[in-house]
Amino acid sequence: MTTEVQRVLWVAAGAVPGGLLRWQAAILLGPDLPPGGSDLLVNGLGSLLLGWLVTRPSRQDLQLLLGAGFCGSLTTFSSWMLVTARLQRQGFVMGLLWLALGLAVGLAMAWLGQRLGQGLGQGQRPS
């Protein structure tokens, strides 16, 4: 049996590398990308990984470490909203386009992750 404290530690252990990777992506790739570009990238990557993860039957501690911890912290919703709000000040359509782009990338990657996890060509319904 995993205790409550152990669960929290699994989440924290995944959250630290997830957050650091998102930060490093912003530092290393940010200057070459438009504002929010590195967040879009890590959000897509995290959605792909979590999509794959939810199709895998695995131990609860691994789900906490990789799912709630790593993927949860690697991806961010609040920064996406912040960039949207800043773009909105430049023009209403810009903000909407940014929202739509984030959604399209995220949904496509989450869907792809689930397909990969179930094996391509198998049934449509999630297990």
Contact residues for another protein, defined by CB under 8 A: 7-8, 11-12, 14-16, 18-20, 22-24, 26-27, 43, 46-47, 49-51, 54, 64, 67-69, 71-82, 84-85, 99, 102-103, 106-107, 109-111, 113-114, 124-126
Residue 43 C-beta: closest distance to another protein, Å: 4
Decide whether 77 or 91 has the Cβ nearer to another protein.
77
Residue 71 C-beta: closest distance to another protein, Å: 5
By the 8 A CB rule, do 72 and 16 touch?
no
Closest CA to 46 of 70, 79, 12: 70
36: which DSSP letter? T
Residue 35 C-beta: closest distance to another protein, Å: 12
Decide whether 19 or 37 has the Cβ nearer to another protein.
19
Q: How far is CA 58 from the centre of its chain?
A: 19
Decide whether 3 or 78 has the Cβ nearer to another protein.
78
| Alpha helix segments (H runs only) across 1-127 | 4-29, 37-54, 60-62, 72-74, 78-90, 92-118
